[in-house]
Every structure is written in C-alpha cells, then in structure tokens.
C-alpha cells in the first residue's frame, strides 16, 4: 500500500519503540517496529525523536480575552504540539449558555481553527438548565459551572439547587459537569479586608484564596455528585490537600469524580508570585513551595489524572501595583508541553509513557473522545514530534498567543516540539502552516439528528 505519508521515529504507545507510522486519509493505517519498509507520498524522518499521540488540552479560553479568538488560540496550540483543545464557555460578550450560541460557535470552529476543538457549554444563573440537554445532544464536551462569581452574566456563581439539577440533566444526556471550585464567601471577604487595609502586594492574591477556599467548594460538589450519582470533573486543582480529599471521597463513596491540575501549579510557586506580580496571577493562586513540592509528588505517583494549561491570555499592565486590579490567567498553549517536558522528562521524574497518558490518553478517555489519544490503527493521525536533545531559549518571540508574558521567558529548555500533524497533515514544523483544518469535535452525548433540526 502507498500511504499519504509515513513518519518514522520513537513511537510512544504503551511502550516506546523505533518504527514507522503509515497514514492514509487522515487515519493511522499501519504501525511497524522497523524503519524503511513503508512507502509514502511524503516521508518524515524523525530519527531519535519521540512521536506522541497529539496532545489534548481540555481547559482553554479562546474568548475570555476576545482579542485572542479561535485563530490565535489554535495557532498557539499547534505551535505547542497540542492537536485538540476543549474551549471553555465564558466568552465575551456572551457566554455559551444557549443552544443558538453553541451552534454559532461550532461554525466558527470549522471556519477558523488550526487544530480540532471540542466545546464546553454553560448555563445562565437563573433558569438556565433547560439548555443542557440540547447542548449535550449537539455535541458539547460537558457543562462547565462555577461556585465563584467573576461576573453575574458571563461567569456566574450557580446556586446549589441548580447545580444539582444540572448534574442530573447532564447525567441523563451522557456527559459530565465540570466545576471551577472556589468558595465565594471566603475569597470575597478576604479581598475586601485586604483592600481596606491597603494590603495589595502580589502575595495577598495567594492569601485571599487560602487552601480551604478550594477544598470547601470541592467537598460540596462531590457531595452533590454522590446524591445525584452523576459524573463530575474538577478543574485546576491547585492544592495537595484537595487532591487527598477527592481521593478519600472517591474511595469511601465511589463517586465518579476526576480532576486536573495545571502546568503552573507544579512548576511555579508563591516565590514567583512575589517576584513577577501580575504575570504570575491566576485563579486559584500559585501555592507555597512546600505545597508545590507535595502536588508534584502526587503527579509523579500517578495520583493526578491529567494536566491542562487553563490558557487565559492577558496582556498585563506591568505598572499596576495593586494585584487585585490585574486580570487573572496565564498564557499556556505555546509553552506548556516544552516546559513540562523539560521539567519532568529531562530530570527523569516522569516516564515518557506517563507523560503521554497525562497529556493525551487520559483526557481522551475521560471525555469519551473516540479516535484520539493513542497511536493505533484506525485512530486519527494526530501526532506530535518532540526532539528530546534540542536545547533552546524561550523568549517573548516564541509565542503565537497575544500574551507572551511568562515567568518562563529567558529560560533554556531541553526538548522542543519540532512537528505537529493534525489528521495526517503537517500543521507546524518550526512555523505554522497555513491550514485551517481544525474541526468541531463532538462529545459523548451527541445525537446525529440534532444536526438537521432547525
């Protein structure tokens, strides 16, 4: 058989071996543990480099800052070796809390995206739950809700009674509900206390969101998941004690709860917050060095299912001295994979296979995405090639995102994404190829007939 393309290198499945992957019509058609035996229209020799299944980032914000949008976000993803993103629903000016807005966004994806995209839906603060089934049947990856209110319209705090209802509806529709879990009471009273006292240095961002502001919200949500027997996911868990709590509830009551941490919670700490101020401001906040060490050990011991970027790109005003006036969120898609590869693989902390599971396989499985997340015949030929020997310096010019402000700038990293393939097509090889071939990826609640309904 002549393939459309053949890629050779160190293939990462449940083992790592030198070989070739034959691709036809966007799918992986053959895998061999020898080189030189396959015949392809195009041949990519990546000797000595790792070929991973395309990385998946389930926590991205294209429109929190509308200056970023789908094009720039997905270019940053392709650049960073990420072939599928799931976009959060807290868009400006309108959050994706209605089937009509949801449908419009899927059309935007098919028009502008450079990588594949799944979409989260959300609900309005009042009487919003009726939209859940419709969005699930149209292919929403899941429903994202918050226990903390950033904005009453765009990012509301959902009352408990509606959270419970949302869990039940999502369960019946075959999808999960994900949560931003932070306690509104604790955080808002701490922020006003600090503001009144004029305590506005960067560290007060951490102090205004103590560990219990995360864990209290988490306990409530797991309790509601228990009583509704539903499936939930907790995003951006930042504290090792919260991880322990989730594990113990899961063990004691068999609750179907998963969680993620983000790359910044295992690589940065309050020391960076003090030093870099708003550039290191995210919610939940960076934790103390001891807490980071503890969370990192949980990653190494496979106690954390997967890691996301929570990419929320702001261009921050570096003259602003009051931390409470700066936007929250870090840039991430361009740099998450190389930074984590440098920190965890080069230092021998994680195995290549753990890395693959954490950034691809486990995410595809949890969200029910068929045909992605592993290198196997019949699966999408989404592939990311990393040269483990290449050392390079990260600086402000290394970004496709509008936000190139990062604590990591200036660092020398070992390990570089050299090629990204989406369904067999090369979309990045040192530069972004001009191919907007990203597609809308449907979640497990999708029903075919929804596409033809008016």
Binding site for Zn ion (CB under 5 A): 310
Minimum distance of Zn ion from residue 291's CB (angstroms): 20
Minimum distance, C-beta of residue 102 to Zn ion, in the bound complex (Å): 18
**Minimal CA–CA distance to 51: which of 87, 88, 22?**
22
Identity of the residue, 262 or 345, whose beta carbon is nearer to Zn ion in the bound complex: 262
Nearest distance in Å: CB 363, Zn ion: 15
Do 176 and 204 contact (CB within 8 A), yes or no? Answer: no
Shortest Å, Cβ 415 to Zn ion: 26
Looking at beta carbons only, is 133 or 261 nearer to Zn ion? 261
Q: What's the rounded Cα separation, in Å, for the pair 197 and 84?
A: 45
**Closest distance of CB 235 from Zn ion, Å:** 6
Residue whose tokens read 């966007």: 26
Q: Which is nearer to Zn ion, 214 or 310 (CB)?
A: 310
Considering the complex, what minimum distance in angstroms separates the CB of residue 60 from Zn ion? 8
Identity of the residue, 182 or 310, whose beta carbon is nearer to Zn ion in the bound complex: 310
- Residue 178 or 337: the one with the smaller Cβ distance to Zn ion is 178
In the bound state with Zn ion, the residue whose beta carbon lies nearer, of 310 and 400, is: 310
Which CB sits closer to Zn ion, 310 or 342?
A: 310
First to last CA, the chain: 43
Closest separation between CB of residue 283 and Zn ion, Å? 8
**CA 313 to each of CA 43, 70, 119, 133, 275: distance values in angstroms, whole numbers, following the listed order:** 36, 12, 18, 31, 20
SS3 138: coil
Radius of gyration of the chain (CA): 21
Give the nearer residue to Zn ion in terms of CB position, either 87 or 310: 310
Rounded least distance, CB 63 to Zn ion, Å: 12
CB of 266 to Zn ion, least distance (A): 16
394: preceding bond cis by omega (within 30 degrees): no
Nearer to Zn ion, 308 or 420 (CB): 308
Rounded distance, CA 280 to CA 275, Å? 9
Q: Provide the H-helix boundaries in 197-288.
A: 203-207, 211-228, 240-253, 263-267, 270-276
Determine contact, residues 7/421, Cβ cutoff 8 Å. yes
275 phi and psi, to 5 degrees?
A: -80, -40
Whose CB is nearest to Zn ion?
A: 310
Q: Which is nearer to Zn ion, 310 or 380 (CB)?
A: 310
Query: What is the secondary structure of 37-105 as a DSSP string?
Result: --EEEEEEEEEEEEEEEPEEEEEE-SSSSTTTHHHHHHHHHHHTTEEEEEE-S--SSS-S-SHHHHHHH
9: left (phi over 0), alpha (psi -120 to 50) or beta: left
Q: Which residues pair with 42 in a beta bridge?
A: 5
Distance in Å, CB of 314 to Zn ion, minimum: 12
Distance CA 103, CA 449 (A): 14
């Amino acid at each position: 058989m002549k393939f459309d393309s053949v890629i050779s290198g160190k293939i990462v499945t449940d083992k790592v071996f030198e070989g070739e992957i034959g691709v036809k019509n966007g799918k992986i058609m053959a895998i061999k543990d020898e080189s030189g035996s396959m015949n392809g229209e195009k041949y990519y020799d990546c000797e000595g480099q790792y070929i991973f299944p395309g990385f998946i980032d389930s926590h991205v914000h294209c429109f929190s800052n509308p200056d970023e949008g789908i094009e720039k976000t997905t270019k940053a993803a392709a650049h960073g070796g990420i072939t599928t993103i799931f976009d959060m629903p807290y868009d400006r000016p309108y959050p994706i809390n209605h089937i009509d807005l949801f449908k419009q966004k899927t059309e935007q994806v098919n028009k502008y995206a450079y990588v594949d995209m799944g979409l989260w839906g959300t609900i309005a603060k009042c009487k919003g739950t009726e939209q859940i089934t419709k969005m699930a049947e149209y292919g929403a990856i899941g429903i994202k809700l918050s226990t903390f209110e950033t904005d009453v319209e765009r990012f509301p705090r959902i009352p408990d009674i509606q959270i419970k209802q949302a869990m039940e509806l999502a369960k019946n529709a075959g999808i999960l509900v994900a949560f931003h879990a932070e306690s509104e009471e604790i955080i808002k009273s701490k922020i006003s206390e600090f503001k009144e006292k004029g305590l506005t240095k960067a560290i007060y961002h951490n102090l205004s969101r103590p560990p219990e502001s995360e864990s209290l919200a988490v306990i409530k949500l797991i309790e509601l998941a228990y009583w509704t027997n539903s499936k939930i996911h907790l995003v951006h868990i930042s504290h090792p004690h919260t991880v322990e709590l989730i594990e113990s509830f899961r063990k004691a009551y068999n609750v179907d709860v998963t969680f993620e941490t983000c790359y910044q919670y295992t690589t940065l700490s309050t020391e960076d917050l003090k030093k870099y101020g708003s550039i290191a401001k995210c919610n939940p906040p960076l934790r103390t060095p001891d807490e980071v060490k503890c969370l990192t050990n949980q990653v190494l011991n496979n106690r954390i299912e997967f890691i996301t970027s929570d990419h929320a790109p702001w261009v921050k005003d570096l003259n602003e001295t009051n931390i409470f006036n700066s936007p929250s969120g870090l840039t991430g898609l361009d740099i998450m994979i190389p930074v984590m590869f440098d920190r965890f693989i080069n230092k021998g902390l994680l195995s290549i296979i753990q890395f693959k599971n954490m950034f691809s396989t486990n995410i595809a499985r949890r969200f029910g995405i068929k045909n992605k997340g592993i290198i196997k015949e019949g699966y999408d030929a989404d592939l990311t090639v990393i040269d483990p020997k290449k050392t390079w310096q990260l600086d402000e010019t290394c970004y496709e995102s509008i936000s190139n402000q990062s604590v990591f700038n200036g660092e020398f990293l070992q390990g570089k994404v050299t090629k990204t393939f989406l369904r067999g097509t090369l979309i990045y090889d040192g530069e972004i190829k001009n191919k907007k071939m990203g597609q809308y990826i449907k979640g497990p609640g999708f029903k075919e007939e929804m596409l033809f309904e008016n």
